[in-house]
Structure 1
Amino acid sequence: MTFTGPAGNGLQLFPFRGLRYVPERVGSLAAVTSPPYAAGAGPDGPHHPDSADPHNIVRLILPQGATPAARAEQAAATLRGWLSGGVLVPDAEPALYVCEQRGEGFVQRGIIGALRLSEPDEGIVLPHEAVLPHVVEDRAGLMRATAAHLEPLLLAYRGDGGRCGAGAVVERTARRPPLLTTTTRDGTRHRLWAVTDPAELAEIDTDLSGRQALIADGHHRWATYLRLRSEQPRSDAWDFGLVLLVDTARHPFQVRAIHRVLCRLPVAEALAAVAGSFRVRPVAAPLPAALEVLAEAARYGNAFLLTGGTDFHLIDRPDPGLLARTLPEDRPPAWRALDAAVLHATLLDHLWRVPDGPADIAYVHDARAAVDRAHRQGGTAVLLHPVREEVVRLLAGEGVTMPRKSTSFGPKPPTGLVLRSLEHH
């Protein structure tokens, strides 16, 4: 289709012909979906290709091969095979898709669509984390080879809580029979609907036209979208990126920390290096109670839990003079107060001298998984307390990026419910 619509100073979300699994061609939708790559589809996650269903989406987002080019071509060949074999089929007409996740204690709904890309200085889409160039390069190769967006970015905007506009369309749609329903192995129930009614599409468009969004998850994909658009100046398909847009006034995100495992630093050495610069206290409690101790300490300043997999130690109350010497002076106070900023500038760079590379630091979303990994590797798990969404939004609005992997917003949609092909748009 050709994308048309009013030029505006806000979000512009357009329908597209979603690529979706044909249920009759796969064992089950739960068997072929996956957590997003960053949240568990990696080599230590639950959906590594060696154990995944033959049609699991992880074979596209985590292809196998000796080089990045070989991996990208493997994904492209797999996608071509699934399309020609009828495993994935484009919907008959363009649509926006309402996506719902329902689990214990939460319901989240949002809209999946093709978002017109904006320039960073327009302030329409606000990133809050820096990206790694080699990751953008890798994702760009995968997107070029497959000519597809395999998983949506997660974007947060502040609407009116579902009383009218896009939020009202989402809530009305959720009362209709869905296109699909599946329950993933974590117990979360997912439903998907298509919105094709012109009046409802116009209602969404009008509501979003004056709004901005915060990137909650997918900074590298956003940077990749912008890079590929610059390479394809005459192809309107590349002017758009696949996103899931959630009104957090109606459906607030759960904000979690992303923990670090220092693979080559034993916990005894880590504790010895901070003595005299931080207060160090043992925490004689299991992990859940230890995290509560961390949460209480974090109310008053920077605090971290350190463990080698058995005993926990709380480190807090850093020396103010040390912070003044090690934190960048050109950043605002809210940035300098971030636990992630203190962790990287003061602890990792200055006291521990740990390089920020995959051989030395693993970024782990689940606290228990971080503790277990530190125990297996003889390293140190550094557990963090989550940053509040308001702080993230404040810094993003000022154009200040946080240290990478500072936050994990969720719940994230499973990858594989709907894809966007740039050849069937």
Structure 2
Amino acid sequence: MNTAGDGLDLRPFHGVRYVPERIGSLAAVTSPPYDVVVRPDGLLHLESADPHNIVRLILPQATEPQERNDLAAATLDLWLAEGVLAPDPEPALYVYEQRNGDMLQRGLIGALRLSDASEGLVLPHEDVMPHVVEDRAGLMRTAAANLEPLLLTYRGNGSATGATAVIERAVHRPPLLATTTEDGYSHRLWSITDPAEQQQIHSDLAAHQALIADGHHRWATYLRLRTEHVSPTPWDYGLVLLVDTARYPLRVRAIHRLLNRLPIDQALATARAHFRVREVPGPLPQAMEALAEAAAGGNAFLLTGRDDTYHLLDRPDPALLHRTIPTDRPEAWRTLDATVLHSTLLGHVWGIPEDSPADIAYIHDTQATVEKARRDGGTAVLMHPVREEVVRELARQGVTMPRKSTSFGPKPATGLVLRTLTDD
């Protein structure tokens, strides 16, 4: 296998997986990615599903950050010592399949080489929050493990050649594991250990660059931790899932905002001077349809809170947009809903610091955002998703979108395969 190349360099590794005989069920030990878990409700639900649920590693519960990191490392070591987790005997690339109704996604899990050229090979499309990178770096550093793969996409030619040919041969063999999680998705995993097939994958991917679909903070963490270790070390690689979206398109959804300390009546009162504000009928699906209709004509946001009503904000004041949105970015960036939200609404109208976790939370699930706003008295700001082609084109131009602008999916389930950095 080539040691380096001009494109993506995906390497086999000794995957660490749950031993079926030592757990209740595979579905009970898996979790969504760490930033999708709704805390505290979702966290408690996962912890109670099985004493070995992976959430105890990716979101360990303790008072201080280093306590949390030490707890995760100790738990990982214990589960390995007890045989709850075990490394596969051969280094492998893994074919991973997710299916739900007519939604089918297949991709490759492996250890992606991090290099000085990574910035040109792996394209981010969102900014990151330094405190989240610090949190993930502390966890990975202490546990010496990549606990969940981030999601990358690339554009193949849409045919069953190269890496895709290997994937589609593998799925006709019995899988290493198969399970269905409570969200209705079925998951299957196969290992690719044949050196010829590994080389076929490597040669194909070496001609491609990738877009970060999910995991910007983990990618920034990988790059940071790489600089802390003198090469060559296992820290030169990071765990990823690579999906060819020409063959297996992803869905793009919005990430919503919960303004923890802004009551809905105050949010609406201050917005009325700058946006058209009107009440729209519920229930939530009908209100989201109204948001989609408004978003087709320009920037639009759906707000709700403790009063159980929905309000649509659209038609922002053009003069205000001109004053508050930076002009040194492409038009496609300046007109993004997330740009208007962060530069105009948060930064000017509401005066909310986007770097403050006490003031703003980012939640993927629409219903969960609404429920938390109504329970806690804050304001839910519901967003309409961005088209994938806009995301990819801005990334190619080197332009990052405001943080948490998109949610690509389906996301890989956490807990199906891990990578430890002590034995890899």
TM bracket (short chain)? over 0.9
From the superposition, tell whether residues 322 and 214 of structure 1 become closer, same or farther in structure 2 (CA, over 3 Å): same
How many Å apart are 1:52 and its aligned residue? 4.3
Supply the distance in 2 between the matched residues of 1:120 and 1:369 (Cα, whole angstroms).
39
Give per-residue Cα distances to partners, 1:328-372, cap 9 Å, x unaligned: 122221111110110011001101112221211121111111111
Alignment of 1:358-369 (within 5 A): 358-369=357-368
1:142 aligns with 2:164: no
How many Å apart are 1:285 and its aligned residue? 2.8
Whether the 8 Å contact between 1:16 and 1:114 is mirrored in structure 2 is: yes
Supply the distance in 2 between the matched residues of 1:241 and 1:331 (Cα, whole angstroms).
31
How many Å apart are 1:298 and its aligned residue? 0.9
Give per-residue Cα distances to partners, 1:353-400, cap 9 Å, x unaligned: 122212111211111111111111122111110011111111111111
Q: 1:355 aligns with which of 353, 359, 372?
A: 353
How many Å apart are 1:319 and its aligned residue? 1.1
Alignment of 1:221-232 (within 5 A): 221-232=218-229
Whether the 8 Å contact between 2:38 and 2:363 is mirrored in structure 1 is: no
Q: 1:338 aligns with which of 336, 339, 343?
A: 336
Residue equivalent to 2:187? 190
Residue equivalent to 1:71? 68
Q: Secondary structure of 2:225's match?
A: helix
How many Å apart are 1:121 and its aligned residue? 6.6
Give per-residue Cα distances to partners, 1:225-268, cap 9 Å, x unaligned: 11111111134211100000001111111111011111221212
How many Å apart are 1:64 and its aligned residue? 2.0
Residue equivalent to 1:313? 311
Whether the 8 Å contact between 2:47 and 2:55 is mirrored in structure 1 is: no
Supply the distance in 2 between the matched residues of 1:162 and 1:401 (Cα, whole angstroms).
30
Residue equivalent to 2:415? 416
Residue equivalent to 1:177? 174
Whether the 8 Å contact between 2:260 and 2:373 is mirrored in structure 1 is: yes
Residue equivalent to 1:329? 327
Supply the distance in 1 between the matched residues of 2:281 and 2:145 (Cα, whole angstroms).
50
Alignment of 1:228-377 (within 5 A): 228-309=225-306, 310-356=308-354, 357-377=356-376
Supply the distance in 2 between the matched residues of 1:93 and 1:122 (Cα, whole angstroms).
31
Q: Secondary structure of 1:38's match?
A: coil
Residue identity matched to 1:313: H
Q: Which shifted more, 285-294 or 11-20?
A: 285-294
Supply the distance in 1 between the matched residues of 2:77 and 2:38 (Cα, whole angstroms).
22
How many Å apart are 1:323 and its aligned residue? 0.3
How many Å apart are 1:50 and its aligned residue? 4.9
Q: Secondary structure of 2:167's match?
A: helix
Whether the 8 Å contact between 2:31 and 2:46 is mirrored in structure 1 is: no
Q: 1:119 aligns with which of 116, 121, 130?
A: 116
Q: Secondary structure of 2:261's match?
A: coil
Gaps of 5+ in 1: none
Give per-residue Cα distances to partners, 1:52-103, cap 9 Å, x unaligned: 4211111111112221111111111111111111111110100000011111
Supply the distance in 2 between the matched residues of 1:323 and 1:118 (Cα, whole angstroms).
39
**So what's the TM-score if we normalise by structure 2?**
0.96
Residue identity matched to 1:320: P
1:128 aligns with 2:121: no
Q: Which shifted more, 287-296 or 45-54?
A: 45-54
Residue identity matched to 2:100: G
Whether the 8 Å contact between 1:154 and 1:244 is mirrored in structure 2 is: yes
Q: Secondary structure of 1:123's match?
A: helix
Q: Secondary structure of 2:35's match?
A: helix
Q: Secondary structure of 1:289's match?
A: helix
Q: RMSD in angstroms over aligned alpha carbons?
A: 1.5
1:217 aligns with 2:214: yes
Residue identity matched to 1:363: Y
Q: Which shifted more, 119-128 or 105-114?
A: 119-128
Q: Which shifted more, 41-50 or 258-267?
A: 41-50
From the superposition, tell whether residues 314 and 120 of structure 1 become closer, same or farther in structure 2 (CA, over 3 Å): farther
How many Å apart are 1:48 and its aligned residue? 5.5
**So what's the TM-score if we normalise by structure 1?**
0.96
Supply the distance in 2 between the matched residues of 1:364 and 1:199 (Cα, whole angstroms).
43
Residue equivalent to 2:7? 10
Supply the distance in 2 between the matched residues of 1:306 and 1:77 (Cα, whole angstroms).
43
Runs of 4+ in structure 1 off by over 6 angstroms are none
Residue identity matched to 1:324: H
From the superposition, tell whether residues 118 and 33 of structure 1 become closer, same or farther in structure 2 (CA, over 3 Å): same
Supply the distance in 1 between the matched residues of 2:113 and 2:47 (Cα, whole angstroms).
36
From the superposition, tell whether residues 41 and 165 of structure 1 become closer, same or farther in structure 2 (CA, over 3 Å): farther
Whether the 8 Å contact between 1:19 and 1:88 is mirrored in structure 2 is: yes
Supply the distance in 1 between the matched residues of 2:182 and 2:133 (Cα, whole angstroms).
30
Supply the distance in 1 between the matched residues of 2:2 and 2:112 (Cα, whole angstroms).
12
Gaps of 5+ in 2: none
Q: Which shifted more, 188-197 or 118-127?
A: 118-127
State the identity %. Answer: 68
Supply the distance in 2 between the matched residues of 1:225 and 1:305 (Cα, whole angstroms).
35
Residue identity matched to 1:38: D
Give per-residue Cα distances to partners, 1:164-195, cap 9 Å, x unaligned: 01112112211211000011111111000001
How many residue pairs end up in the alignment? 422
Whether the 8 Å contact between 1:48 and 1:58 is mirrored in structure 2 is: no
